[in-house]
Amino acid sequence: MESAVSAAETKQQQQQHSNGSSYNDQNDIVGWFERVSENAGPVQTETLRRILELNCGVEYLKKWLGDIQVQETEACVLESLYTSLVPLSTHADIEPLVQRIADGDTGPILTHQPITTLSLSSGTTEGRQKYVPFTRHSAQTTLQIFRLAAAYRSRAYPTREGGRILEFIYSSKQFKTKGDISVGTATTHYYNSQEFKIKQEKTKSFTCSPQEVISSGDYKQSTYCHLLLGLFFSDQVEFITSTFAYSIVQAFSAFEELWQDLCTDIREGSLSTRISLPKVRKAVSDIISPNPSLASKIEENCNELRGLDWCGLIPKLWPNAKYVYSIMTGSMQPYLKKLRHYAMDLPLVSADYGSTESWIGANLDPCLPPERVTFAVIPTFSYFEFIPLFRRRQNCASVSDDFIEDEPIPLSQVKIGQEYEIVLTTFTGLYRYRLGDVVEVAGFHNGTPKLNFMCRRKLILTINIDKNTEKDLQMVVERGSELLMRKAKAELVDFTSHADVAHQPGHYVIFWEIKGEVEERVLKDCCTEMDASFVDHGYVVSRRTNSIGPLELRIVERGTFKKILDYFIGNGAALSQFKIPRCTSNQVILRILNACTIKRFYSTTYD
Ligand code: AMP
């Protein structure tokens, strides 16, 4: 069985190298996934063997594996040798090696294949941006997971072949390191790759915007053009998508301000002066032409939509769109409400789970609402291990983390209902690398686990014995924003938080940007409600004893979170991968938040 799987896999990889993809139609890729998921355990063992075969003797592995003859060692033996000899690693462990690559060392440090491109992953290592290796394999797996997910989606929501996709996608600026290595976000590398073009052909749907718009480097100009071309081709648009849901919400809130200019451009076949980049102007002008009847129709619809606070904007303006597709889980969950507002009855399909380091799993149940979506692990992409995590009992002295760990186990041994941290061994030179994401096994697809994304492992709010994760904060903010909606019909636009330890006693600060008029009394109630909603025992005890002070709610002026976005984009982030940090100690961000604070409230929960 093992060798049959491995032979099929090898053939598939070889074919991929020759034409970018071995599957001509959706049934093939679904059939392939059925086979590898049925044999997920052996496929994982084989995947590890292949990674080690490709990279045996590189500096990092040599240090731990010595001169083990990978080719002559049986895959199962190799798996147990590898997991017992090579230690778990974090980004901090590989950072000096990645830095040498960035500086131009072309020796076999992490991989035999020279690394010519590095990606920027979210988060930092001690204040420095995190670089991870990117190779052709990374773009190929992106293509493969997109095609797999597209195949499952098209079964549930068939789309017209040759139709268009309104894609809110953005490349970041790329730069070169001292050693002439290109650095950019993983999505940027992908949009520039051959695989991105192949994807459009294989899935037979084409993005509305030309490459010049995607890679303009100015997200405001790109957003305007995505909207303009999306409207221009509105009859042909089969679905609307972005990498993370934030980009769609951001684009449609910009649309609320821009629609009149967009209508003028459609009517006259012109391009607003706000598009100043010559390459973008040319590329877009070559596509559009005057269409007065479409402009009048859009104008009429917008006048109606305005009175409805833009509820149902998507189906009204894109009547043939079948669904909205984007990552809506994890830190994107807070944008779901706004997305539903724009999409109304149109299905929201939650996109796949991955990271700059490796793709992980695909959503095989596109009909499930985003709150219930799971990701089936793709056992050929990387070698996955799972560190069992157990919630700590209360009152534990250590606050560095919320979990007790057990020994890592292979994919074939995970259990339903158990939480784990994911560990990756990748084709791109990461070995037993802790990703820092917490997942729960929700079930199985054949032999491969279906994961629920829980949260990033790092605690985000902690002062002393209190421990709150991003998910805890999200739940608390949801309670507060429900009250805001119920009592004032106002909307929470975005939020972040900070653990203020500069003043004694330390306390949590939650920053809210809101839309709508709200009485101070209501905001005070929201603040108190949120404070009461933190259920972590360490927090409750500390609040009762006043070793943590009352929760502070700060209202920031409209546009504050846009300023934060601009700050990150200015520092090399791409809108496509942007995630508002839900807790920050970044001095620049805090300065923006402080300067924009217009009101402060303190909770009376434990008075
Ligand atoms: P990046 O490093 O920018 O590539 O972001 C990768 C991280 O985004 C992952 O480690 C997750 O924490 C988060 N992420 C990616 N895909 C999803 C998803 N489908 N649901 C929830 N979080 C996700």
Question: So what's the pLDDT on residue 595?
Answer: 97
How remote is the CA of residue 354 from the centroid of ligand 1, in Å?
A: 6
pLDDT at position 604 is 96
Q: What is the pLDDT of residue 13?
A: 42
Comparing CA positions, the residue from 335, 338, 313 lying closest to residue 256 is 313
Query: What pLDDT is attached to residue 408?
Result: 98
Record the tokens describing residue 560, joined without a space.
């504050």
Q: Which domain holds residue 212?
A: 158-346
Question: Distance between CA atoms of 40 and 526, rounded to whole angstroms?
Answer: 47
Nearest residue (by CA) to ligand 1, atom 6, is 355
379-410 pLDDT, tens digit each: 999 999 999 999 765 444 444 456 899 999 99
Tell the residue nearest (CA) to atom 19 of ligand 1.
353
510-567 pLDDT, tens digit per residue, is 999 999 999 999 999 999 999 999 988 788 888 988 889 999 999 999 999 999 999 9
**Claim to verify: residue 440 and residue 484 sit in the same structural domain:** no
For residues 56 and 82, the answer to whether their CB atoms sit within 8 Å is no
DSSP conformation letters of 97-160:
HHHHHHTT--SSSS-SSPP-EEEEEEEEETTEEEEEEE-HHHHHHHHHHHHHHHHHHHHHS---
Residue 367 is assigned to a structural domain of this protein: no
| DSSP notation for 158-171 | ---TT-EEEEE--P
What pLDDT, on a 0 to 100 scale, did the predictor assign at position 126?
A: 54
The answer to whether residue 539 sits within a structural domain is: yes
Q: Which residues of the chain have pLDDT under 50?
A: 1-23, 394-400
Q: What lines the ligand 1 site, CB under 6 Å? A: 121-122, 186, 327, 329-330, 352-356, 435, 437, 453, 456, 577
Residue 2 lies in a domain: no
513 shares a domain with 477: yes
Residues 85, 116 within the same domain: yes
Q: Which atom of ligand 1 is nearest to the CA of 121?
A: 2
Is the same domain home to 285 and 212?
yes
175 and 317 assigned to the same domain: yes
434 plus 481 within the same structural domain: no
pTM: 0.84
Assess whether 409 and 490 both reside in one domain. Answer: no
- Residue among 181, 189, 183 at smallest CA distance from 103: 181
Residue 200 pLDDT: 76
Count of structural domains, the chain: 4
Question: What pLDDT score was predicted for residue 214?
Answer: 93
Alpha carbon distance 511, 384 (integer Å): 37
Distances (CA, A) of 10 to 85, 109, 246, 403, 499: 27, 25, 38, 39, 50
CA distance 469 to 458: 7
Same domain, 66 and 184: no
Q: What pLDDT was estimated at residue 5?
A: 39
Q: Whose CA is nearest to atom 10 of ligand 1?
A: 355
- Tokens representing 117 are 């491109």
* Residues 75 and 186 placed together within one structural domain of the fold: no
What pLDDT, on the 0 to 100 scale, is given for residue 19? 28
Residues 189 and 315 in one domain: yes
Vertex 376, ends 372 and 381: CA angle to 5°?
A: 145
Q: Residues 330, 434: one domain? A: no
Among candidate residues 346, 374, 393, the one where a domain is terminated: 346
Q: 355 CA distance to ligand 1 centroid (A)?
A: 5
What pLDDT, on a 0 to 100 scale, did the predictor assign at position 123?
64
Question: Are 447 and 40 within 8 A, CB to CB?
Answer: yes
Considering the domain boundaries, does residue 370 fall inside one? Answer: no
Tokens (6 digits) for 185: 């976000």
